[in-house]
Structure 1
Amino acid sequence: MADALGTLRRFLLLTGLYYAGAVLASLYLRTPDDITLFWPSSGIALALVVSWGKRWTVVVPFAVIALHLTVVPVPLAFLPYSILSNTLAALAAGWYCEHARRADGLHLRTADGLMLLRSGLILAATSATIGTAGLLHAGITQPIDAGRVWLLWALGDILGITTFTPVIALLLGPGGLREGLWRDRVGRREQVVWAIALLLSLAGIVSAGRSGNLYALGLVSMPLALLLWAAVRFSPMTTMVGTTLVVTFVSLLTGLGLGGFTRPLTLLDASVLMLLLVLISVIPVMLAVATYEQRHTATALYLRATRDPLTGLLNRSTFEERARERLTGETAEQDLSLLYLDLDHFKLVNDSASHVAGDDMIRTVGGLVGAEFGDEALVARTGGDEFAVLVPVSESQAITCGRRLLASIDGLRIAWGDQMLTAAASIGIAHSKAPHVDFDTLLSHADAACFAAKEYGGNRLVAASREGDELKLRTASMRSALQVREALDQRRFTLFCQPIVPLDPASSTKSSIEILLRWTDAQGQVRAPAELIAAAERYRLGPRLDRYVVEAVLQWLEANPEHAANIHHCGINLGGGTLVDEEFHDYFAARLRHSSISPEKLCLEITETSVVRDRTRAQRFIQRMRDLGCRFALDDFGTGFCSFGYLQHLDVDYLKIDGSFVRDLGNSELAEAVVRSITDIAHVLDKRTVAEQAETQAQLDSLRTMGVDFAQGYAIARPMPIATFFEGLAALKAG
Structure 2
Amino acid sequence: MAIASAYSPDMRAGGASIIRWGLLTGLYFAGTVVASLYLRTPQDITLFWPCAGIGYALVLRYGTRAAAVIPVGILLMHLLLVPVPPLFLPFSVGSNLFGALAAGAYVRRRHPQPLRLVSADGLLLLRGGLLLAIVSTTIGSAGLVVAGIVPFHEIGDAVPLWFLGDLLGVTSTTPGLMLLFAQYDGESAPARPRAGYSRAEHAAWVLALGISLSLLFLTGRAGSPYALGLVSLPLAALMWSAVRFSPLWTTIATFATVVFLSLTTGLGLGSFIRPPSATDASLLMLLLCVISVLPLLLSASDHEKRLASAALYRRATRDPVTGLLNRTAFAERARQRLAASDGPLALLHLDLDQFKLVNTSGGHAAGDELLRNIAGLVQAEAGANALVARVGGDEFALLADAGQDAATESARRLISGIEALRPAWNGNMLAITTSIGIVPSRPPHDDLDTLLSLAAAACAAAKEHGGGRFRIALPDSDETRLRTAGMRSAMRVRAAIEERRFVPYCQSIVPLHARHDHGRHFEVLLRMVEADGSLLPPAEFIAAAERYQLGPRLDRHVVDLVLDWMEQHPEATDGIGMCCINLGGGTLVDDEFRDALHARLHRGYFPPNRLCFEITETSVARDRARAQRFIGRMRELGCRFALDDFGTGFCSFSYLRDLDVDFLKIDGSFVRDMDASPLAGAVVRSITDIAHVLDKRAIAEHVEDMRQHEALARIGVDYVQGYAIDRPVPIDDYFAPVGPRSTASVAAASLSRP
Specify the alignment match of 2:353 in structure 1.
Answer: 344
2-structure distance, mates of 1:307, 1:224 = 40
User: Following TM superposition, by how much is the alpha carbon of 1:226 offset from its aligned partner in structure 2, in angstroms?
Assistant: 2.8
Give the paired residue count: 732
Specify the alignment match of 2:202 in structure 1.
Answer: 191
Specify the alignment match of 2:257 in structure 1.
Answer: 246
2-structure distance, mates of 1:210, 1:184 = 40
Specify the alignment match of 1:576 in structure 2.
Answer: 585
Q: Residue 28 of structure 2 aligns to which amino acid in structure 1?
A: Y
Specify the alignment match of 2:149 in structure 1.
Answer: 140
Return the match for 2:31 from 21, 27, 43: 21
What pairs with 1:464-475 in structure 2 (closer than 5 Å)?
464-465=473-474, 468-475=477-484
Specify the alignment match of 2:284 in structure 1.
Answer: 273
Higher relative contact order (CA 8 A, sep 6+): 2
Pair 1:207–1:517, CA change in 2 (3 A) = closer
Please list the CA deviations of residues 61-114 of structure 1 after superposition, one character each: whole Å capped at 9, or x if unmatched. 34333433444333332222222211221122112212343x754111222222
Return the match for 2:61 from 38, 41, 51: 51
Specify the alignment match of 1:715 in structure 2.
Answer: 724
Question: Contact 2:193/2:306 (CA < 8 Å) preserved in 1?
Answer: no
Return the match for 2:320 from 272, 290, 309: 309
What pairs with 1:232-631 in structure 2 (closer than 5 Å)?
232-259=243-270, 261-327=272-338, 329=339, 331-465=340-474, 468-508=477-517, 510-631=519-640
User: Following TM superposition, by how much is the alpha carbon of 1:254 offset from its aligned partner in structure 2, in angstroms?
Assistant: 4.1
SS at match of 2:435: strand
Specify the alignment match of 1:697 in structure 2.
Answer: 706
Question: Contact 1:333/1:392 (CA < 8 Å) preserved in 2?
Answer: no
Pair 1:483–1:138, CA change in 2 (3 A) = same
Question: Contact 1:428/1:462 (CA < 8 Å) preserved in 2?
Answer: yes
1-structure distance, mates of 2:63, 2:193 = 24
Gaps of 5+ in 2: 1-9, 750-754
User: Following TM superposition, by how much is the alpha carbon of 1:449 offset from its aligned partner in structure 2, in angstroms?
Assistant: 1.4
Return the match for 2:159 from 147, 150, 158: 150
Please list the CA deviations of residues 276-295 of structure 1 after superposition, one character each: whole Å capped at 9, or x if unmatched. 32233222222322332333
1-structure distance, mates of 2:593, 2:138 = 81
Question: Contact 1:183/1:235 (CA < 8 Å) preserved in 2?
Answer: no
SS at match of 2:389: strand
When normalised by structure 1's length, the TM-score is 0.92
2-structure distance, mates of 1:684, 1:724 = 38
Question: Contact 2:459/2:470 (CA < 8 Å) preserved in 1?
Answer: yes
User: Following TM superposition, by how much is the alpha carbon of 1:262 offset from its aligned partner in structure 2, in angstroms?
Assistant: 4.9
2-structure distance, mates of 1:226, 1:588 = 74
Q: Residue 324 of structure 2 aligns to which amino acid in structure 1?
A: L
User: Following TM superposition, by how much is the alpha carbon of 1:376 offset from its aligned partner in structure 2, in angstroms?
Assistant: 3.9
Question: Contact 1:247/1:277 (CA < 8 Å) preserved in 2?
Answer: yes
Q: Residue 418 of structure 2 aligns to which amino acid in structure 1?
A: I
User: Following TM superposition, by how much is the alpha carbon of 1:570 offset from its aligned partner in structure 2, in angstroms?
Assistant: 1.9
Identity in percent: 56
2-structure distance, mates of 1:471, 1:704 = 47
1-structure distance, mates of 2:266, 2:493 = 85
Matched, 1:74 2:84: yes
User: Following TM superposition, by how much is the alpha carbon of 1:650 offset from its aligned partner in structure 2, in angstroms?
Assistant: 0.8
Question: Contact 1:622/1:651 (CA < 8 Å) preserved in 2?
Answer: yes
Pair 1:132–1:596, CA change in 2 (3 A) = closer
Question: Contact 2:378/2:414 (CA < 8 Å) preserved in 1?
Answer: yes
1-structure distance, mates of 2:265, 2:193 = 30
Moved more, 693-702 or 614-623: 693-702
1-structure distance, mates of 2:587, 2:690 = 28
Please list the CA deviations of residues 264-307 of structure 1 after superposition, one character each: whole Å capped at 9, or x if unmatched. 44213322332232233222222322332333333223222223
2-structure distance, mates of 1:346, 1:70 = 75
Pair 1:77–1:523, CA change in 2 (3 A) = same
2-structure distance, mates of 1:555, 1:204 = 88
SS at match of 2:480: helix
Return the match for 1:178 from 176, 189, 200: 189
Q: Residue 174 of structure 2 aligns to which amino acid in structure 1?
A: T
Pair 1:100–1:314, CA change in 2 (3 A) = same
Pair 1:580–1:184, CA change in 2 (3 A) = closer
Matched, 1:231 2:205: no
Specify the alignment match of 1:650 in structure 2.
Answer: 659
2-structure distance, mates of 1:220, 1:603 = 92
Matched, 1:65 2:75: yes
User: Following TM superposition, by how much is the alpha carbon of 1:658 offset from its aligned partner in structure 2, in angstroms?
Assistant: 0.9
2-structure distance, mates of 1:318, 1:104 = 33
Moved more, 515-524 or 64-73: 64-73
User: Following TM superposition, by how much is the alpha carbon of 1:705 offset from its aligned partner in structure 2, in angstroms?
Assistant: 2.8
Moved more, 190-199 or 254-263: 254-263
SS at match of 1:457: coil
Question: Contact 2:209/2:237 (CA < 8 Å) preserved in 1?
Answer: yes
1-structure distance, mates of 2:221, 2:560 = 99
SS at match of 1:359: helix
Question: Contact 1:185/1:235 (CA < 8 Å) preserved in 2?
Answer: no
1-structure distance, mates of 2:308, 2:19 = 37
Return the match for 1:42 from 40, 46, 52: 52
Q: Residue 405 of structure 1 aligns to which amino acid in structure 2?
A: L
User: Following TM superposition, by how much is the alpha carbon of 1:258 offset from its aligned partner in structure 2, in angstroms?
Assistant: 4.7
What pairs with 1:202-217 in structure 2 (closer than 5 Å)?
202=213
Please list the CA deviations of residues 528-587 of structure 1 after superposition, one character each: whole Å capped at 9, or x if unmatched. 122322222222222222222222222333344454333332211111122122222222
Q: Residue 491 of structure 1 aligns to which amino acid in structure 2?
A: R
Question: Contact 1:518/1:526 (CA < 8 Å) preserved in 2?
Answer: yes
When normalised by structure 2's length, the TM-score is 0.90
2-structure distance, mates of 1:214, 1:509 = 116
1-structure distance, mates of 2:406, 2:553 = 42
**Superposed CA RMSD:** 2.8
User: Following TM superposition, by how much is the alpha carbon of 1:257 offset from its aligned partner in structure 2, in angstroms?
Assistant: 4.8
Moved more, 158-167 or 543-552: 543-552
2-structure distance, mates of 1:218, 1:506 = 114
Question: Contact 1:182/1:236 (CA < 8 Å) preserved in 2?
Answer: no
Specify the alignment match of 2:5 in structure 1.
Answer: none
User: Following TM superposition, by how much is the alpha carbon of 1:326 offset from its aligned partner in structure 2, in angstroms?
Assistant: 3.7
Pair 1:182–1:255, CA change in 2 (3 A) = farther
1-structure distance, mates of 2:611, 2:458 = 41
Please list the CA deviations of residues 395-452 of structure 1 after superposition, one character each: whole Å capped at 9, or x if unmatched. 3333333333333323322111111112322222223333332222222112211211
User: Following TM superposition, by how much is the alpha carbon of 1:524 offset from its aligned partner in structure 2, in angstroms?
Assistant: 1.1
Question: Contact 2:435/2:463 (CA < 8 Å) preserved in 1?
Answer: yes
Please list the CA deviations of residues 441-482 of structure 1 after superposition, one character each: whole Å capped at 9, or x if unmatched. 222112211211211222222221188222222211111212
Pair 1:89–1:471, CA change in 2 (3 A) = same
2-structure distance, mates of 1:118, 1:646 = 83
User: Following TM superposition, by how much is the alpha carbon of 1:640 offset from its aligned partner in structure 2, in angstroms?
Assistant: 1.2
Question: Contact 1:182/1:237 (CA < 8 Å) preserved in 2?
Answer: no
Moved more, 185-194 or 151-160: 185-194
User: Following TM superposition, by how much is the alpha carbon of 1:192 offset from its aligned partner in structure 2, in angstroms?
Assistant: 2.8
Return the match for 2:140 from 125, 131, 139: 131
2-structure distance, mates of 1:368, 1:433 = 26
